[in-house]
Amino acid sequence: MFIVNVEGAIYHNEKWLLIRRSEKEEHAGGELALVGGQVDKEGVSSDILERTLIREIEEEVGIEVTNLRYVNSSSFVTDSGEHVVDIVFLCDHHSGEAFPKSADEVDEVLWMTTEEIINHHDLPGYLKDNIKLADRLAQHHAIVSF
């Protein structure tokens, strides 16, 4: 019925981790995006969204994340007509140095500030909106943490 996709808004040193999707990718090849991927069918399981995202981030960019918090959800239709439900989580960088670990999926990793992302002329509106929402959550969390 739907493909379920999860994405991580990874915040570290006041910057967000974006990837340039591989040109080999069927959907949005060559575009900047958050790290993430499709949820596999597992039958009966728990924490499937969180476990999928943690695994995808490690597989694609080689870092470990923790403290996943829900940001928002949306839906879209791919160029090939597949319906996708997309869920974004704010993630804390825990360990590792991000690099394009999966060459079939990632051509480049970039760290950008919220302002750089919002003012970037080539980024899609939904990515800017996701970062704005994640940034508000990150800032609120930082204030509450003290």
Q: For the chain, what are the domain ranges?
A: 3-145
Across residues 62-78, what is the average pLDDT?
Answer: 95
pTM above 0.75, yes or no: yes
Please tell me the predicted confidence (pLDDT) of residue 27. Answer: 59
Task: Answer with the residue of higher pLDDT: 24 or 66.
Answer: 66
The CATH class, in words, for 3-145 is: alpha beta
- Alpha-carbon torsion, ordered 29, 113, 87, 89, to 10 deg: 130
Q: Which of 87, 95, 118 is nearest to 18 (CA)?
A: 118
Per-residue confidence band for 57, with pLDDT thresholds at 50, 70 and 90: very high
Please tell me the predicted confidence (pLDDT) of residue 31. Answer: 85
Task: Answer with the residue of higher pLDDT: 23 or 53.
Answer: 53
Distances (CA, A) of 139 to 77, 114, 135: 31, 11, 6
Please tell me the predicted confidence (pLDDT) of residue 122. Answer: 86
